[in-house]
Amino acid sequence: MYKILQPSKYVPMLSWLLALLIGVLLLLGMRSLPSSQISLPVNHHDPLAATNTVILHDQQGKYPLGKNLEIFVDPTQQLTITDVTQPQQKFTPSYVDVPNMGFSQSAYWARVTLRNHSDITSQWYLQGAPSNVDQVELYIPQGNSWIKKQIGRKLPFSQREIKDRNLVFFLPIGLGEEKTIYLRFISQGTVAMKVIAWQPATYYNNNFTSQFLLGGFYGILLTLAFINLLLVLLLDDVSYRYYVFSLIGMTANSFIRDGFALQYLWPDSPQLNFTAVILFIGIALASSASFFITFLQVRRYSHQLYRLMNWVRWVCVGFMLIAWSLPFQPSIILAQYLAIILCFLMSYACLYTWHKGFIPARFALLGWSCLFGGTSIWCFKSFGWLPANVLTEELQRFGVIGLVFFIAVALGDHVNLIKKESKKIESEQQKLALIVENSSEFISITQLNGQSVFINDAGKKIIGLKAENNFQNINILDYLYPDDRYLFQSDILTTVQTKGRWEGELRLCDGNSGAAIYTISSFFLIKDQQTGKPKALALVSRDISKLKQAEHNILQALEAEKAVSQMRSRFITMASHEIRTPLAIISSSTGILENFSDRLTPEKKQGHLNTIQDTIKRMTQLLDDVLMINRVEAQNIEFQPESLDIIAFCRSLSTEVATTTHTIDFSCDVDSQMSDGSLIVQCDETLLRQILTHILNNAIKYSPHHQIVQLNLTTENQQLIFTISDRGIGIPPAEQGNIYDAFHRGSNVGNISGTGLGLSIVKKYLELHHGEINLDSYLGKGTTVTVRIPYVKLELPKHN
């Protein structure tokens, strides 16, 4: 079946048929325009001429009086029966069976002369208008006065002489009597003068047939509404809900318009007719628009068409909410325009979605085409562009029946399509379930607040859950690393709702150990297929903890390589200065001794030899420092503690390091710890000597001549505290963090020689001694170095 009815083949043909239908309707409207307007040619003959008198007799039970009427327009609605019966008032003859005035603010008067030639009855029925006219007044002459009767949907039903939904009067005309009667029509809706004289028996026979057909019409609508209401309860499909409301709106609107509501529901509250009809028209329009937006899945095929249809839907909702509070006539006119626009738009939507491959739209198109045709003709009749007759009055009912019939077929087709898609989806879901369950990645589905709907076994394992744990009591936010939880509300959820996806690094948290699990995560937005609203989030995370560790190791290696490269660069810079300069000095001294030895005094010769020896010592010390750094890095130096009198050691060291230009002032504050003027501790004398010597040498080197260097010793918490202070050049604040790097020297040292290894060696030795060093330096004011070394105090043996 699906291959036979190809959309691409039938779309052009249906488009031409739709265009042809609209053209025919407009042509009929144009042809009927003169007969339905008030500017009819004036009849200058006697309006009561015998040739225009309607003869009532027993052989005929029904007399349509439309072509026998003479019509007068009262734009002011103020004229009385006395005014319109004056000779100067000119009535215009009618030439149609049912004069249709459309929407108007005027009052219309009609008159006709009747002569009763019946031998049986003097009581006739006079039908004045359809049931949806506000008010019809009948004036019957009686002597020099008039009998006035009135009926209409604006008046209480209890006031009617004949308890019938149609606007019918008792018309008393004696046997052989002739009377000219007047009718006055006022309505906020369409004014159609469906004036018929009936014999009572004929009227009731005709009314029985009409009631039977209307019963069938309402039975069809109510049956379909009931069936679809059951489907609403059985199927969780929002389309059926909208369709039920649409059927209720159309049925209730027809029920009110046909006069049944006034007859059976609110006979003493006729004003409810106007409020209810607008309300149910709004319900029918808004529900029909909503039904087809969801049923045709318009959003899936065209966002532009969806926005247009959604806009029209909300216009219909707005009409339903406010139109009942407005005057009835503009409201009903607006409703008819909306109905035409909606019918055309829905027909186009069916055509478009069918063309795009949505097969059930073919029957929906037939249904809306029926309603579009019937509604358009009925609306054109209401505006007075088409004549009022059985075709224009009842074609809308056939359009509604065609709509509900073809929609029922379309819904059945839709159900079959859903079954096929469900089987396909079920098969795809089974495949997807196998993939998800066998995946090693973390896969979950959560609500928008993070509450889990599904977590695969691999995901549970990653975050430390057992496979049998109930994931429905788990909020995924609780398993995000604490520092990353803020991302969910501040970035992830907002981005996913806006763009549909978020991807980036995200740390999960092991529920058992609390350790961070580094992942590459992707959040996807899951939308409701019917409404398009955000429904849930899908999360796929890949554990990259090993990659992050490898990355960290690589970065560490790169940093180490960078440090080695920087140290190599500093070494080359230092070596170029600290080695080349001494070699130049040696070369110069040896050259002088070689070339001018015979001219030099013994004292000068000895001076050059001393210079060569001192320079060689400096180079030897440089090489020793470099080798020492290498030994420390290679961990070839061992910590060997031994007993040492620390006070005597410091005094001796101060004397050894002092120079002719600098004095070292040693002081100590350890009286409570001393025994016989000594403090015996256990430490590595070699390492300690190297530490203090380098610091003292730096203090001397970077201090002006004849400055005193302070060396102070104290103890605290089983630590030896050495404080060395000078008043030298100081260290720039920006460089104080790098002073322990090998070969690093301050930018303010100028021509002062040095290798930049001293503090680096001190730092390494202190690490072996489990000590620490702190530095407090001010540029141009001096430096204070504090060294702390743990110690164990030893008691001297007592002598008897």
DSSP string, 140-193: EEETTEEEEEEE-TTS-GGG-SS-SSSEEEEEE--TT-EEEEEEEEE-SSEEE-
User: Mean pLDDT across the stretch 26-34?
Assistant: 37
Residue where a domain terminates, one of 632, 666, 701: 632
- Is the pLDDT score of 33 beyond 60? no
User: Mean pLDDT across the stretch 31-56?
Assistant: 45
In this structure, the answer to whether residues 262 and 394 fall within a common structural domain is yes
- Is the pLDDT score of 84 beyond 90? yes
- Is the pLDDT score of 614 beyond 50? yes
Which of the four pLDDT bands, split at 50, 70 and 90, describes residue 625?
low
User: What is the predicted pLDDT for the residue at 73?
Assistant: 94
- Is the pLDDT score of 27 beyond 60? no
In a 13 Å sphere around the CA of 738, the CA atoms on its Cβ side amount to 14
User: What is the predicted pLDDT for the residue at 626?
Assistant: 64
d(CA 148, CA 146): 6
Kind plus residue range of the DSSP H or E element containing 108: strand 107-116
Phi, psi of 141 (to 5 degrees): -70, 140
User: What is the predicted pLDDT for the residue at 742?
Assistant: 67
What's the CATH code of the domain at 448?
A: 3.30.450.20
Query: Which of residues 137 and 598 earns the better pLDDT score?
Result: 137
User: What is the predicted pLDDT for the residue at 39?
Assistant: 30
In this structure, the answer to whether residues 261 and 187 fall within a common structural domain is no
- Is the pLDDT score of 406 beyond 70? yes
- Is the pLDDT score of 11 beyond 50? no
- Is the pLDDT score of 579 beyond 70? no
- Is the pLDDT score of 136 beyond 50? yes
In this structure, the answer to whether residues 354 and 375 fall within a common structural domain is yes
Least confident span in 64-78, 196-210, 557-571: 557-571
The encoded tokens of residue 478 equal: 């609780």
Residue where a domain terminates, one of 597, 632, 667: 632
In this structure, the answer to whether residues 388 and 522 fall within a common structural domain is no
Is 693 a member of any domain? yes
- Is the pLDDT score of 37 beyond 80? no
In this structure, the answer to whether residues 131 and 253 fall within a common structural domain is no
Residues of the chain above pLDDT 70, percent? 82
pTM: 0.52
User: What is the predicted pLDDT for the residue at 112?
Assistant: 94
What's the CATH code of the domain at 763?
A: 3.30.565.10
What's the CATH code of the domain at 598?
A: 1.10.287.130
User: Mean pLDDT across the stretch 737-766?
Assistant: 73
C-alpha distances out from residue 200 to 85, 124, 197, 559, Å: 29, 6, 9, 111
User: Mean pLDDT across the stretch 62-66?
Assistant: 92
Residues of the chain above pLDDT 90, percent? 14
In this structure, the answer to whether residues 594 and 673 fall within a common structural domain is no
Is 203 a member of any domain? no
Residues of the domain holding 278: 7-33+216-419
User: What is the predicted pLDDT for the residue at 753?
Assistant: 66
Which of the four pLDDT bands, split at 50, 70 and 90, describes residue 179?
very high
d(CA 483, CA 507): 8
- Is the pLDDT score of 238 beyond 80? no
Write the CB contacts of 723 (distance below 8 Å, at least 6 apart in sequence): 710, 711, 712, 713, 714, 784, 785, 786, 787
Quick: pLDDT tens for 433-455.
677 767 778 887 888 888 877 88
Is 493 a member of any domain? yes
User: What is the predicted pLDDT for the residue at 515?
Assistant: 82
User: Mean pLDDT across the stretch 459-478?
Assistant: 72
In this structure, the answer to whether residues 334 and 394 fall within a common structural domain is yes
What's the CATH code of the domain at 169?
A: 2.60.40.2380
Quick: pLDDT tens for 249-275.
888 888 888 889 999 999 999 999 888
Which of the four pLDDT bands, split at 50, 70 and 90, describes residue 632?
low
In this structure, the answer to whether residues 711 and 781 fall within a common structural domain is yes
In this structure, the answer to whether residues 181 and 233 fall within a common structural domain is no
User: What is the predicted pLDDT for the residue at 799?
Assistant: 45
Is 431 a member of any domain? no
Which of the four pLDDT bands, split at 50, 70 and 90, describes residue 113?
very high
Residue where a domain terminates, one of 516, 543, 570: 543
Is 324 a member of any domain? yes
Handedness of CA 205, 206, 207, 211 (dihedral sign): positive
- In the chain the first and final C-alpha atoms are separated, in Å, by 125
- Is the pLDDT score of 507 beyond 80? yes
Domain count, the chain: 5
Count of beta carbons in the 10 Å neighbourhood of residue 569: 11
Least confident span in 186-200, 220-234, 545-559, 628-642: 628-642
Write the CB contacts of 479 (distance below 8 Å, at least 6 apart in sequence): 463, 508, 509, 511
The encoded tokens of residue 333 equal: 């006119």
User: Mean pLDDT across the stretch 583-590?
Assistant: 76
User: What is the predicted pLDDT for the residue at 10?
Assistant: 41
In this structure, the answer to whether residues 103 and 120 fall within a common structural domain is yes
Is 207 a member of any domain? no
**Most confident range, picked from 392-396, 573-577, 709-713, 764-768:** 709-713
In this structure, the answer to whether residues 405 and 469 fall within a common structural domain is no
Mean confidence (pLDDT) of the chain: 79
In this structure, the answer to whether residues 538 and 521 fall within a common structural domain is yes
3-state SS assignment for residue 730: coil
d(CA 150, CA 137): 4
d(CA 83, CA 583): 140
- Is the pLDDT score of 5 beyond 70? no
Q: Taking a C-beta distance cutoff of 8 angstroms, is the pair 650, 666 a contact?
A: yes
Is 429 a member of any domain? no
User: Mean pLDDT across the stretch 5-15?
Assistant: 39
Burial classification of residue 151, based on how many CB atoms lie within 10 Å of its CB (0-12 exposed, 13-18 middle, 19 or more buried): buried
User: Mean pLDDT across the stretch 355-365?
Assistant: 83
Is 425 a member of any domain? no
- Is the pLDDT score of 24 beyond 60? no
Which of the four pLDDT bands, split at 50, 70 and 90, describes residue 572?
low
User: What is the predicted pLDDT for the residue at 530?
Assistant: 59
Which of the four pLDDT bands, split at 50, 70 and 90, describes residue 16?
very low
Quick: pLDDT tens for 655-703.
888 887 888 889 988 766 666 678 888 888 888 888 888 888 888 888 8
